[in-house]
Amino acid sequence: KNEVEQSPQNLTAQEGEFITINCSYSVGISALHWLQQHPGGGIVSLFMLSSGKKKHGRLIATINIQEKHSSLHITASHPRDSAVYICAVRLLMNYGGSQGNLIFGKGTKLSVKP
């Protein structure tokens, strides 16, 4: 079983729809990242969370540490949001976290149709 699980794997939405991508993890973490990967491969960090909720424009990220779960929401989705969204966690030291590397989920491929 992967330490970081994302769902859904693929998601197709119509422009304007509200989108939710989920991430569950099974290890102790110091932080959780939501990343965006475009078709060319480059990765952009969207959020880094250790508790609560963050908002940036149409993007909202939440995390529940007790339930080991995080969600990424996109409001009023747009075709330019089409990308792969990746959840990644940074392990606590007693879970084998060493120098700050991340463990990644497999990503959610989002396609927003006009």
Partner 1 sequence: GAVVSQHPSRVICKSGTSVKIECRSLDFQATTMFWYRQFPKQSLMLMATSNEGSKATYEQGVEKDKFLINHASLTLSTLTVTSAHPEDSSFYICSLNPNGRYTEAFFGQGTRLTVV
Which residues contact partner 1 (rule: CB under 8 A)? 2, 4, 30-31, 33, 35, 40-45, 48, 86, 88, 90, 98-107
DSSP 27: S
Q: How far is the CB of 87 from partner 1 (least distance, A)?
A: 10
Give the chain's end-to-end CA distance (angstroms, integer). Answer: 36
φ, ψ dihedrals at 81, nearest 5°: -80, -10
Q: How far is the CB of 54 from partner 1 (least distance, A)?
A: 13
Q: How far is the CB of 33 from partner 1 (least distance, A)?
A: 6
Report how far residue 13's alpha carbon sits from residue 65's, in angstroms, rounded to the nearest whole number: 29
CB-nearer residue toward partner 1: 43 or 60: 43
CB-nearer residue toward partner 1: 65 or 102: 102
DSSP 38: -
CB-nearer residue toward partner 1: 56 or 114: 56
φ, ψ dihedrals at 101, nearest 5°: -75, 160
